[in-house]
Amino acid sequence: MQYLLLIQVPEANDDNRDVVEASGNDPAWASYTNALIEAGVMRGGNELAAPATATIVRMRDGRRDVQDGPFIETKEQLGGYYMIETATLDEALEWAARCPAAAYGAIEVRACMGG
C-alpha cells in the first residue's frame, strides 16, 4: 500500500525562526531519506515552496475563481512530503515517527487510493 507522509511544520515566526530554519539544514533529514531509500520503501517526495507562493483554484457556478494563497487557518504549514510503500499502516506509522519533523511538527499519514 502506498502512503503519503505529509510533513506539517510550524510557520517560521520571531518566536521559532531559528529552530524552523535550522531544521532544513539538519543532517537528520539526509539520514532519514537515505534510510527510506535503503529500506526500499521510498517512492518519491519533495520539499514545498513557502505557503505564500500558493494559488488556490475553485470552480463556482462554472467560473474559475483563482486567489493567491494560502487561506487555510493553521499554525502549521505543509512543508513537504514523502511517498512511501509499505506492507501495513503500522509500518508507515513507524516511518512517520522517524521523520525529523515529528519532533517539532506533525506527520499526517494518508493512504493513497489505488496504491
Tell me what the mean pLDDT of segment 28-52 comes to: 92
Q: What is the pLDDT of residues 2-23, one digit of tens each?
A: 999 999 888 765 555 555 555 5
- Residue pair 101/61 in contact by the 8 Å Cβ criterion: no
- Residue 56 pLDDT: 79
Task: Name the pLDDT band for 83 (thresholds 50, 70, 90).
Answer: very high
CATH number at residue 24: 3.30.70.1060
Structural domain count of the chain: 1
Q: Exposed, middle or buried, 101 (CB in 10 Å: 0-12/13-18/19+)?
A: buried
Record the pTM. Answer: 0.77
Q: What are phi and psi of 24, to 5 degrees?
A: -70, -25
User: Greater confidence, 71 or 78?
Assistant: 78
The answer, yes or no, to whether residue 50 has pLDDT greater than 60, is yes
